Structure 1
Amino acid sequence: MNQENSSHQQQFQSFGDISAQDNAQIVIQQTSKVYQFIAREEVKERKLNPASPYIGLKKFESDDQNLFFGREQWIAKSIEAVRASNLILLLGASGSGKSSLIRAGLIPRLKNLLGKRLISLVLTPDRNPFESFRSIMIAKEYGQEATAAISEQQEADILAQTCISLQREEEQWLIFIDQFEQLFTRCKDTKLQKSFIDGITRLASKESASIKIVLAMRADFLDKLSPYPSLTGHQLFLNDMQPDELRLAIEQPAAQHGVIFEDGLVEQIINDVQGQARLQPGSLPLLQYTLDLLWENSQKRGDIDSRTLRKETYLVGGTVRDALQKKVDDIYGKFSLEEQAATKQIFLKLVNVDNSAQESEATSRVISRRAYGSEFGSELEKKTLDELVSNNLLVTSRQEEQPTVELAHEILINSWSKLKGWIEESLEAIILRNRLADDAQRWQVLRAEKNVKAEDELWSGSKLGRVLEFKQEQQFESQFGGLSSEQEEFVSASVEKRDRIQKKEARDKLILKIGASAVLLAVSVATGAGFFAKHNRDTNKSLQLANASATNLTIDPTRSVWLGIAAHLIRVC
């Protein structure tokens, strides 16, 4: 986006003041003034900026608005949706540009329209969505104490009430929950999922139109929302870019930096993008990665100094279809054998399989996983991870006050053949190990808080048995470089709990067996005694205890045994 062109726009008081006519006029002005095709010689007369105007596998952010092109009509649609509804669900394939549309398109445009009144709260759900929500509010300086109830009580009403009470006069809130599917893939507590969804729907149902909520989610996870019809009201489905939109996305960032494309190269790239899209929907990250690589290689060849990106450089470096594959193979190929093994372990920790998918669909529902830094224990792993981050294949951040690592984009899962092969041969191990990692992390947190529920997190039954089989077969070692100390401690604690339960069950069985004998003995003694001396006080007492022993046999075996023994002793003594 060009801020110079938008800074003179009329600013509005609220979302509701932006009329459809105003929105349409803004788009017309932007299209005619900012995105007009500029003469090639005029572009080359601009000041040269040698830095790449393309973002690779990263998301566009608000700061990238001046380099975000091709989605003007969709920005207009999203503004109209926000004007008309408090809750919008944006759907699209992975890699279709959902995050970028909101982060670098809708939010900056609303900022231009509403000025300082706009407060954008952008978050991605993690294991506890209430914590994720609270963290972004703290980052926006709404206060630790003022927001504490959100994560402490984790209730729908508290979430809605806290937001409404903290919203300052004249503020217009846009809450953007990116990668909304992670509410179902990262958070394993279904009650927590429902409570969070109830919270945002209640917030959106308030009469005030000063809080708008936008959810961006992969379309192949839409089935997750079937129990929540309130979320599926106002939907937008983001399509692939059309040729004229692709041309803007390809040409205009370079033009902003004073560089043009050789004749015919843009058309070739557009054809490659459309061909790739037919094979794999959501190819915009591949386009950005390829263009960024083209710029990098052009700098090495001196093409940037001549202000022209050339076909030869594009073909040598890799087309949209194979640039990412070539580059990752090149990086991987330069690693030592030990670093290659660590690379496999790292990548397998950063993917997950949607457990609700049918077995036949498992490969198509492989998703990116955010891992905690503590999962990478060895020095070799840490060194290799740093290399992968520096090559922009992985990204690091912080979540719930802990360092995290994840894939730069899910497009890597289907675009790097080696990773696809690793995943296919390790599906069960991936599912089991990731569930173990999440539960071990949650157990550690609860234990540190001295929460009595910590014990409930420990594993048992077939799940624990399968983990022990994998450990014995050293599958965790071969696939992931072993389990972390935290995970090992969790498994050991689970085994100890299992052994305690088994010992107790064995003891109870023994007591039950002894108790049955004691009861029979007590009853026979008491009955026999009663036959000869019905009115004897001790005999009556013995009979009462024997009857009580028989009654407690299945309810409380230990008590039954002692009652039986007491009945016998009374008679004997």
Structure 2
Amino acid sequence: MARIRAPGDTVVGAGVLLAPRLVATCAHVVGDALGYDDVPDLAPDAELEVDLPFAPDGPLRRATVWRWWPPASDGTGDVALLQLDAAVGVAVPSTRRVPEPWGRPFRTAGFPPGREDGVWAAGVLRREQGSGWIQLSGAEEIGPGFSGAPILDECGDAVIAMAVAADRGDGPARSAYAIPIARVLAQAPQLLVNPYRGLAAFDEAHREFFFGREDELARALQVLDRDGLVVLVGGSGAGKSSLLTAGVLPEARVRGLRPARVRLAGVASRPAVITAFAAALTEAVAPDPSGRTRAVRTPDAVERWTLRDWSRVLSARPGDRTVVAGAVGPVGIGDARAVASGRLFVAVDQFEDLAFSSPPAAHTALEVIGLLVALGVRVGVTARWATFDDLLDGRSAPVVQRALVGVLPLDRAHLRAAVAEPAARVPGPSFDPGLVARIVDDAGDEPGRLPLVAVLLAELWDAADDGRLTIEAYARVGTVQGALAAAAEREWTAIPVGRRARARALLLAMTRPTETGFVRRPLPLAPLAPGQRRVLEALAAARLVVISPGAAEDVAELAHQSLIDRWPRLQRWLQADDAFLRWRAGLQAGVAAWAPTHDRDVLLRGAALDVAAGWATERAGDLRAPEQEFIAAGLSRRRRERRLRRATLAVVVVLGVSAGSLLAAGLDAPGDGLCGTGSAISAPVAPAPP
């Protein structure tokens, strides 16, 4: 609750905190504070003072009118929105619409004359009047000093209206009324936003809703100040982009730096890389409202370089004195350093996309980044683990490694903050008791839990019940697991038809059968073909897959076990391919034993090899290169063994024929020999002499 003060420290009314820098009150309260006899038709441009008496060390703020809706002849209006000169560090109360107000208990507080420390009142709501105001009953205390006060529901945890203490009619009877909170918020529809981003990254416009990465942000800023370069690394879906664009970039702006966001999508050559950086820098130093790059020639020519000028500087090699055209003569790199130093911040998001699609272009981008840092420009980069393994050389490796800041999965405390705090920064629904803890519990410890929680929260906000984020609404959107399954189906339908067969094979390759079903398994990236990698990158961008470092190389995994357990499409695939997947799981054990040494003794034989050959023919597209090589090695061994058997049989036949020929020749020959010996043995023996 806010307290509105007139000059001289006199309290004239109350207000409702709608945002960290926005307070709602009655227009007539503003008029009273500024000494007007009647509420003006136009918004006053004078300042007034606002404080928060019930907050610890309630800060005093100066305020000006931002939105103005004076009382109208039909009894409507009487709303003013005040912009504070600085944000207040307290939670914004939740708001709740009341479709049927009659008989609903409420409570409120005001600051009547002589009781400027506050007076509480309670009563019940009646129906709306023709003006749209709700009549308040049973709270005789409501009078001067209560105008603009929040009307709280019976639990005191949500604002349902804003009090208007007014005398209506010519008699002595006084009636109290309240403006439904929906009518107040209608004056600032931009406040009625969903603070949860779903699968989209947080950006600078949503920095007030970005929570959970305070520690990493502090480290990133420290590294940036020290080295001029910070590289945020982590698995896919860890929140690197949000940390850069909703954390580091806004802080750079606060420090007086001009942000430049480099877009490298589709870039594949050195000139294209240089042009992408040049376009971002030119727009940062000479923005054009029409969206076209322009050059404004002033004596400070460097700050208004054209795209061509930036390209010439950025394409220079260290030590060159590249000259560009200026209004007052030639300008070189030395002059660029003097102007750029401490004034620009360049954000390069998802560097791994460029490193994967075009390593030569990525090398050029690293050269440009090094040149920018040498010129005094601050640079922030996001990338997945191992992106730089094959890009860095002896000169660049120490610089990049020193600038690394790891973005690890959120622990429970920080995940809880990411869940609960955004809702406290906007008027709207509030969480049921225990729901935040349940969401954190249901998210588990899966590597892809942050994206799935983000999807759940975005849908839960839109499914709020009567201004509350309830357990029932949580069940309706399918809990954490069900929300992810629904999002997965939406993302699947967005995949081009021509890529779906390959995407299906990759998703199935990231599962492993068990006795009772299937679980996730990591899929090494190194053996994948370029076409498979492109599809996998698309699955990672859709948050169905996370890519993170494994023990020896980067691996891809399904974002969460619930994709297997709750996504009907994937379940149908697993059921249809159960026999193949279980066979392949056994095959992978053989591949793992064979791969290190290519030991022939572990190759498949006999019927097992026949089955493998059949699957290799039928499902060639579903087998990775090591699996195909393992089967091919077994078939090759079989062919060699068959050839050896045929050769051995041929030798035996030849030897047999040779032996037969020799035997036949011996039977036909006279004299000694086997036949002669036989004749001698069989000859009659002469009788002995008498």
TM-score by length of 2: 0.42
User: Which structure has greater helix proportion?
Assistant: 1
Which protein has greater RCO, CA pairs closer than 8 Å, 6+ apart? 1
TM-score by length of 1: 0.49
Q: Which has the larger radius of gyration?
A: 2
